[in-house]
Amino acid sequence: MKFVVSYPQTNWDYVKFRLNRIIRGKDRSNDVFRGSPGGKIELFKHHGNLGNITSLGVIHPTKPFGMHYVPDEGLYFITGLPCCEDGVAGDEHIARLNPSGEIDLEIRSPLLTQVRSLRRTERGFLVTASGVDAILELDFSGNILWSWWGTEHGFDMAYGGGKRVIDKTLDHRLNNYPGRLQTTHLNSAIVDPYDPNKILTILFYQGKVARIDRTTLQHEIVIENLNGAHHIRPHSLGYMLSNSRRGEVLVYDRQFQFIKSVPGTNKLFPVKWVQDAIEMPSGNHLIADCNSFKLRERDLNNREKTYTTGMPNRVFQIEPVPDDFTFGQLS
C-alpha cells in the first residue's frame, strides 16, 4: 500500500519554538510562531511486512495540514500561511493535486482560518476552521453550503476567558486567533460513515466528540474524557481517534462504546503526542508518534516496528492513496 504524510512545519526555527514551549513546562498554545513554517508532503510505500516502509518522494506546499485523496480527482490538501498578527492577510486554502501531478484547483474563503481537517463530501468539502470554532461545508467556488458554529451551540466561552461572538461578515484571514481566543479548537470533522445525516467532530478543549444532526444542527456528546484528541476516523469495528496527549489510539464500536486502546508512543517518552493513525488493510495500525518523529506500525499481536521521519518532520496527518499514485511533475 501507499500513503502520504503531511508535515506542516519543517523549519528548524519552528523546532526551537516548540522545544521552548516544552522546556518551559506548560502549554504555551497561546504563543504564535511568526517565521516561515516550511511544509512538506511525503509519499511512502509499505511493502507488506511489518515496518517495511520506504519514502518515494516529497513535495513542498506551505504549511499543509488536512488531506483527502479522492479517486479520479486527486489529492486535496490544506495549504498556505495563516495570519500571524492582526491585519496581516493569511492565505489558507484548499488545493488539489490532480492525477497528472498538477495543482489544478484552489478554493478560498474569508472564513478559512487555522484550518485543520479536510474531507470531500457529496456536495463539496467539509473543513474545520479552528480559528473561528466552525465546521464549514464549501462548494468548489468557496461558497458556504452548510455550517456549524461552536459559539452558537453552547461553546461560547474562550479558552482564555470571556464570551466569544464571531462576526461572520468579516474576512477572518486578516485576524490572528491564538488558542486563548478559541472556544473549542475543533480540529477534525467527518460525515458519520454509518449515518450520512450526522457529522462527527472533535472538541479539543472539551475533550469530547460531538455528533451533529445536519438538518437541526443539534448535537449530542458521544465520547468524553479525551486529552488533546485529533482525527476521528472510521474503523472496521466502528470508529477510531488519536488521544494525543496520552499517546494512544482509541477504538470504539458503532454505538461509541470503548473497545480498546492501541499504544502509540514509547511508554518512557516524557512528552507523549499521537497526532494521527490509520487502520491498514492488514488490520495493523500505523500511528504518527509526533514528538519522537516516528511512524509506528503495531500489529494485532502487539508487535511493533518504527520508521523515523527525523526532526523537524513532525507528522500531522496520514492519508492512504492508491498504488498508482505519484506526485508527477511536482516531485
The answer to whether the beta carbons of residues 138 and 107 sit under 8 Å apart is yes
Query: What pairing do the DSSP bridges indicate for beta strands 115-120 and 238-243?
Result: unpaired
Question: CA 48: distance to chain centroid?
Answer: 26
Place of cell 461578515: 169
At 174, the amino acid letter reads L
Q: Would you say residue 29 has pLDDT above 80?
A: no
Rounded distance, CA 205 to CA 320, Å? 28
Number of domains in the chain: 1
- Which domain covers residue 132, as residue numbers? 2-330
Rounded distance, CA 66 to CA 201, Å? 14
| SS3 annotation, the chain | CEEEEEECCCCHHHHHHHHHHHHCCCCCCCCCCCCCCCCEEEEEEECCCCCCEEEEEEECCCCCCCEEEECCCEEEEEECCCCCCCCCCCCCEEEEECCCCCEEEEECCCCCCCEEEEEECCCCEEEEEHHHCEEEEECCCCCEEEEEEHHHCCCCECCCCCECCCCCCCCHHHCCCCHHHCCCCCCCEEECCCCCCEEEEEECCCCEEEEEECCCCCEEEEECCCCCEEEEEEECCEEEEEEHHHCEEEEECCCCCEEEEEECCCCCCCCCCEEEEEECCCCCEEEEEHHHCEEEEECCCCCEEEEECCCCCCCCEEEEECCCCCCHHHC
For the segment 155-210, what is each residue's pLDDT rounded down to a tens digit?
999 999 999 999 999 999 999 898 899 999 999 999 999 999 999 999 999 999 99
Q: Across residues 116-120, what is the average pLDDT? A: 98
pTM: 0.95
Q: Would you say residue 237 has pLDDT above 80?
A: yes
Question: CA 80: distance to chain centroid?
Answer: 15
Rounded distance, CA 230 to CA 232, Å? 6
> Which of the four pLDDT bands, split at 50, 70 and 90, describes residue 23?
low
> Which of the four pLDDT bands, split at 50, 70 and 90, describes residue 47?
very high
Query: What pairing do the DSSP bridges indicate for beta strands 294-298 and 304-308?
Result: antiparallel
> Which of the four pLDDT bands, split at 50, 70 and 90, describes residue 96?
very high
CATH of the domain at 295: 2.120.10.30
Q: Would you say residue 243 has pLDDT above 80?
A: yes
Q: Across residues 147-156, what is the average pLDDT? A: 98
- Please, which residues bridge with residue 203 across strands? 208
Q: Would you say residue 273 has pLDDT above 80?
A: yes
Q: Would you say residue 21 has pLDDT above 70?
A: no
Q: Would you say residue 27 has pLDDT above 60?
A: no
Mean model confidence pLDDT for the chain: 93
Q: Across residues 261-272, what is the average pLDDT? A: 92
Q: Report how far apart, in Å, the C-alpha atoms of 247 and of each of 59, 169, 190, 229, 271 are.
A: 28, 39, 22, 10, 9
pLDDT of residue 271: 87
Place of cell 488536512: 66
Rounded distance, CA 17 to CA 31, Å? 9
Share above pLDDT 70 across residues of the chain, in percent, rounded to a whole number:
95
**Pick from 165, 166, 210: nearest CA to 187:** 210
> Which of the four pLDDT bands, split at 50, 70 and 90, describes residue 326?
very high
> Which of the four pLDDT bands, split at 50, 70 and 90, describes residue 303?
very high
Rounded distance, CA 37 to CA 42, Å? 16
**Pick from 329, 331, 247, 318: nearest CA to 46:** 318
pLDDT of residue 83: 85
